[in-house]
Amino acid sequence: MTRRPILVDCDTGIDDALALAYLLAEPAVEVVGVTTVSGNTDAARAAANTLSLFELAGVHDIPVAVGAHDFRERAYAGGAPHVHGDDGVGGIALTAAARAHDARPAVELIDHLATRHPDLVVLALGPLTNLAAYAEAPGVAAFDHLVVMGGAFAHSGNVTPWAEANIHNDPEAAALVFAQEWDTTLVPLDVTMTQTLDEADLVRLAAIPGALPQALAAMLPLYLDFYAGRVFPDRRCALHDPLAAMVAAGVLRGVGVAAGKVEVRLERGERGRTVSSRDSETQRWVRGMEGSAVELLLERLEAREWPA
């Protein structure tokens, strides 16, 4: 079976960590690189978190490059410690990895991997600052497909009544990315909020042997605390980034997929709002999902042998 090459552009918080672990365990894909951006935490911390998670998984050959610290039109002013902890991963004090991040800037690593893998899928799990810089970089290679966890259409936002966090953090970058003729699939709140992990799932995760599953189980209680009573009536969290990873892997099938050009509102009152009002041959957003993201996540994590 040919494995699909994926580059992950992320702001490694708790749900990014779940997505990365899923991708390492998914036999249909090969993670060929990671670039980081500020969002849940700053880009440098996101890279350090990623390297620590990879070391727990016994993975030492995936390059991790640091991308943009600040957004296009404003400075990064801190992440979401109330959601992801001060370190981005639930305050569990991951041990620093032995290896350093890749010396290349994020845009350079994306270009290198797109040149090496003409069928490269780019999976964006954070603000689109790095991808906007890539769109403006002269002479860079084309990649095959972009999957974005972001946006809210018929669903309300999670930062403002209109805007989802990744788009809201850098709407100018998102507007520039969606102005490209890249083959793009959005996985918005409309579908991610329907796929959740609850306390029973956490118990199942905590029973998986291995350093990485144990770290995931340790960081998730803070994430559940944030959602409980605020977003959901019970202790459960949405699987935003893991669901987007499954769409990128081609393993879960979207249903009711809407084909439409995505635009981002930049005016003050609706800043970061995503709308889609005209047809497009290159852009689409997922409105529903066939299958269970949490079941697939746990099955894949259970099937892999993880280092202790």
**Active-site residue 155, yes or no?**
no
Residue of 84, 101, 168, 240 marked catalytic: 240
Phi, psi of 274 (to 5 degrees): -100, 135
Distances (CA, A) of 11 to 95, 266, 268: 18, 22, 25
CA dist 239 to 36, 103, 125, 214, 220, Å? 19, 31, 12, 18, 11
Contact present, 126 and 10 (Cβ < 8 Å): yes
Q: Across-strand partners of 149? A: 187
Q: From the candidates 11, 42, 190, 241, which is the catalytic residue?
A: 11
Is 240 a residue of the active site?
yes
Catalytic residues, which ones? 11, 240
